[in-house]
Structures are given as structure tokens and as C-alpha cells.
């Protein structure tokens, strides 16, 4: 009997699986994802899984008519593959974190009447999770009162790294492993002023943008630690005193668990504008700041760096519950 974990596409989805599987060491684990997105980069060589499978699938949303038809056909073929794999590995439960990668396996689970546990990361429900919510054995969300588990599944290292910030000596810009043009532009526009203030820069520019961003920093005469995909994100967050970041759910909760105050710049094209609502959850509690891309002003951001951060940092420590990953793992083993 195995626990099958599925879903992904982006790091936000995949970080959930990574956090939960830490607490499933004695279980037989199987991962099913997609060839598109970051699934293979994260888990193809992960030895915690007995087996890994990557279907040729892609998203349906934001496609034209023919694109939608093609995507649905790919999903139907992958669902037939998933049916065979769930039988082969005698799946006792399927844990889905959503995204197009999850669709074939989640549908196959329901066809075979295998318990389906869904984790929704965002304040606004994803399209697939919205469809499957009524059929889930358990539907987990930190934003829903009826959720059986409210604590967000964050790896323990982020809690271990938490510390109270007061002044800014190091700033981190987080555009995700794919990068964010608006955040890259802001970082480079602020670079000279940050150097004047003797503030160290850590910058996740995106894998495709590293060379260009590094070159611009060199032309500005500013030292900065620039990277794309990294396994050291927890260390970088620990070092930083202030973050400028997209507001994907996993990034938001990891920053919060680290007690790192942040300015969030939501990705404007996110499905259902979910990154805005993720950030709004903290802004309404006066624990974060947010600017839309068209609202960004360098001076306003610089002004935030002069604020005493202690109150927000302590507040973040209070809002993030620990043990979310362990609670989800326990639920999966008990079903």
C-alpha cells in the first residue's frame, strides 16, 4: 500500500509535498507529476519516493479554444495512465496539492474510489481544487474556517530560523526560480541607494535572468548575491531582515514562519488574482505591506526600510502555527 502524492507545476505547490513527506519516512511514497513545469527539477531524483512518474500534460486555463482541446486530450490520456499506476502501487490515499499536474491522478483516484486529500495553498481556490472540493475526503486550507487543519505546511527549518528583526542590514528580493521582471527592475533601481545605506543585497533573479542582472549590478558598482533556483532559500531568508517578494502561498508562509517582514508585489496574471488575496490576508492584520506592480515607487519602498520592524516580526511569529506538515502527514496515514 502506498501514499501517492501529486500536483505541482510551480514551486508553491511542490513545496507542500516536500514539507509533508518529511513526516512520512516509514511510508511507501509515489510521486506523479508533469513533464511541464518544475516537477522533474524538484523530484525526479528524490529518493524518498519509491517511484516517480511525469505525464505529458499542461494547463487548460489561459489557452485558446484549440489549446484547451489539446490540453484536455492530454489530460484524458494521462488519467488512463494514472488509473494503471494507482492500481499497480495499491494506493491507499492520494494527496493532491493542485495545479494542472494533479488533475489526472486526482480524477483517477475518484474513479477508483481511493480517498483524495487536497491541500489548497491560496486564499482564492484554484480551478481544479474548486471542481474537486465536493468530492475530497478532506480539503485543507489555512484560509477556510471549516478546514480540518489550519496550520500551513512549512518545513521545520523556517521555524528554526525565525528571529525578530528591528533594522535592515540585509534585503532579499524574491522573484521565484523563474524570476519576476518587476521585482528585478525594482531591485536594480534601488541598488545604488542600498549601497549608500550599507545594506547587503540578496537577489533571486530567476534562472534565465542571472547573467543580465549580475552584469547590471557590476555596471552599477554594487555587490549582490544573485541566483535562480536554489536549495539554500531558508538560509537566505534567515540572513535577511526585509523581503520584497511575490505572494505565492508557500513563499508568503515561509517568510512568515521565518518572522521576516515583507513587501509583497503580487503577480498580476495569477489565476483568480490569488496572489493579491494571499498578501491581503497579512496586510489586513497589519503584518505586511503590498504594492501592485503599477503602484511601485522606489522612494516608498526605501521608506519602509526605515521602519522599526520589531512589531511586525513578532506578529508574524504569532500568526503562523507550527506542525502543519506533521498534521497533514498524520491524516494521510490514518485514512
Q: Report the pLDDT averaged over residues 195-223.
A: 96
Q: Answer whether 208's CB lies under 8 Å from 228's CB.
A: yes
How many beta carbons lie within 10 A of that of residue 186, not counting itself? 22
User: What is the predicted pLDDT for the residue at 155?
Assistant: 87
With vertex at residue 255, the alpha carbon angle to CA 250 and CA 258, rounded to the nearest 5 degrees, is: 125
Q: Answer whether 156's CB lies under 8 Å from 22's CB.
A: yes
- In this prediction, residue 310 has a pLDDT band, given cuts at 50, 70 and 90, of very high
Which CA distances in Å does 18 have to 39, 164, 171, 217? 11, 26, 26, 33
Q: Which three cell numbers stand for residue 294?
A: 503599477
Q: Answer whether 177's CB lies under 8 Å from 147's CB.
A: no
Q: Which residue has the higher pLDDT, 67 or 201?
A: 201
Q: Answer whether 181's CB lies under 8 Å from 208's CB.
A: no
Tell me the pLDDT tens digit for each residue of 274-285.
Answer: 899 999 999 999
Give domain limits for the chain. 2-153+322-334, 157-319
How far apart CA 72 and CA 62 sit, in angstroms, is: 13
Q: Whole-model pTM?
A: 0.81
How many beta carbons lie within 10 A of that of residue 71, not counting itself? 18
**Strand order through the sheet with 200-204:** 225-227, 200-204, 170-174, 242-245, 262-264, 289-290
How far apart CA 8 and CA 60 sit, in angstroms, is: 14
Second CATH level (architecture) for the domain 157-319: 3-Layer(aba) Sandwich (3.40)
Going by DSSP bridges, is the β-strand pair 200-204/289-290 parallel, antiparallel, or unpaired? unpaired
Residue 52 φ then ψ, to 5°: -130, 140
Q: Report the pLDDT averaged over residues 220-239.
A: 94
Q: Answer whether 101's CB lies under 8 Å from 33's CB.
A: yes
User: What is the predicted pLDDT for the residue at 65?
Assistant: 75
Please provide the average confidence, as pLDDT, over all residues in the chain.
93
CA-atom Rg of the chain in angstroms: 20
User: What is the predicted pLDDT for the residue at 100?
Assistant: 85
DSSP code, position 313: H
How far apart CA 258 and CA 62 sit, in angstroms, is: 34
How far apart CA 267 and CA 57 sit, in angstroms, is: 23
Q: Answer whether 228's CB lies under 8 Å from 209's CB.
A: yes
How far apart CA 121 and CA 109 sit, in angstroms, is: 20
Distance in angstroms between the alpha carbons of the first and the last residue of the chain? 12
CATH topology of domain 2-153+322-334: Rossmann fold (3.40.50)
Q: Which three cell numbers stand for residue 187?
A: 531591485
227 has a pLDDT exceeding 80 = yes
User: What is the predicted pLDDT for the residue at 126?
Assistant: 82
156 has a pLDDT exceeding 80 = yes
Q: Report the pLDDT averaged over residues 87-112.
A: 95
Residue 202 φ then ψ, to 5°: -115, 130
How many beta carbons lie within 10 A of that of residue 299, not counting itself? 8
Q: Report the pLDDT averaged over residues 275-298.
A: 96
Q: Answer whether 253's CB lies under 8 Å from 233's CB.
A: no
Which of 47-51, 57-61, 153-157 bottoms out in mean pLDDT, i.e. has the lowest? 57-61
Amino acid at each position: 500500500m502506498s501514499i501517492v502524492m501529486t500536483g505541482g507545476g510551480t514551486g508553491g505547490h511542490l513545496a507542500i509535498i516536500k514539507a509533508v513527506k518529511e513526516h512520512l519516512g516509514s511510508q511507501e511514497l509515489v510521486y506523479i507529476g508533469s513533464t511541464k513545469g518544475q516537477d522533474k527539477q524538484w523530484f525526479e531524483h528524490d529518493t524518498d519516493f519509491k517511484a516517480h512518474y511525469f505525464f505529458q500534460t499542461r494547463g487548460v486555463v489561459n489557452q485558446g479554444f484549440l489549446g484547451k482541446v489539446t490540453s484536455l486530450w492530454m489530460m484524458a490520456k494521462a488519467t488512463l495512465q494514472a488509473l494503471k499506476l494507482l492500481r499497480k502501487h495499491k494506493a491507499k490515499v492520494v494527496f493532491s496539492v493542485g495545479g494542472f499536474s494533479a488533475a489526472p491522478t486526482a480524477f483517477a483516484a475518484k474513479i477508483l474510489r481511493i480517498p483524495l486529500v487536497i491541500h489548497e495553498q491560496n486564499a482564492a481556490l484554484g480551478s481544479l481544487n474548486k471542481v474537486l472540493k465536493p468530492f475530497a475526503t478532506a480539503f485543507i486550507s489555512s484560509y477556510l474556517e471549516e478546514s480540518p487543519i489550519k496550520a500551513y505546511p512549512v518545513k521545520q527549518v523556517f521555524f528554526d530560523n525565525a528571529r525578530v528583526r528591528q533594522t535592515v542590514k540585509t534585503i532579499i528580493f524574491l522573484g521565484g526560480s523563474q524570476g519576476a521582471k518587476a521585482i528585478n527592475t525594482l531591485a536594480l533601481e534601488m541598488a545604488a541607494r542600498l549601497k549608500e545605506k550599507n545594506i547587503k543585497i540578496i537577489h533571486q533573479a530567476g534562472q534565465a535572468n542571472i547573467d543580465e542582472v549580475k552584469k547590471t549590478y557590476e555596471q552599477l558598482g554594487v555587490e549582490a548575491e544573485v541566483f535562480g533556483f536554489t536549495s539554500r532559500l531558508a538560509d537566505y531568508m534567515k540572513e535577511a531582515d526585509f523581503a520584497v517578494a511575490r505572494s505565492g502561498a508557500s513563499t508568503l508562509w515561509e517568510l512568515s514562519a521565518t518572522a521576516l517582514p515583507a513587501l509583497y508585489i503580487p503577480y498580476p496574471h495569477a489565476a483568480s488574482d490569488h496572489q493579491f488575496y494571499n498578501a491581503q490576508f497579512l496586510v489586513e492584520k497589519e503584518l505586511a505591506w503590498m504594492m501592485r506592480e503599477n503602484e511601485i515607487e522606489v522612494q516608498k519602498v526605501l521608506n519602509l526600510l526605515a521602519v522599526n520592524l520589531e512589531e511586525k516580526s513578532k506578529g508574524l511569529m504569532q500568526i503562523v502555527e507550527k506542525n502543519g506538515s506533521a498534521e497533514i502527514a498524520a491524516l494521510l496515514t490514518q485514512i
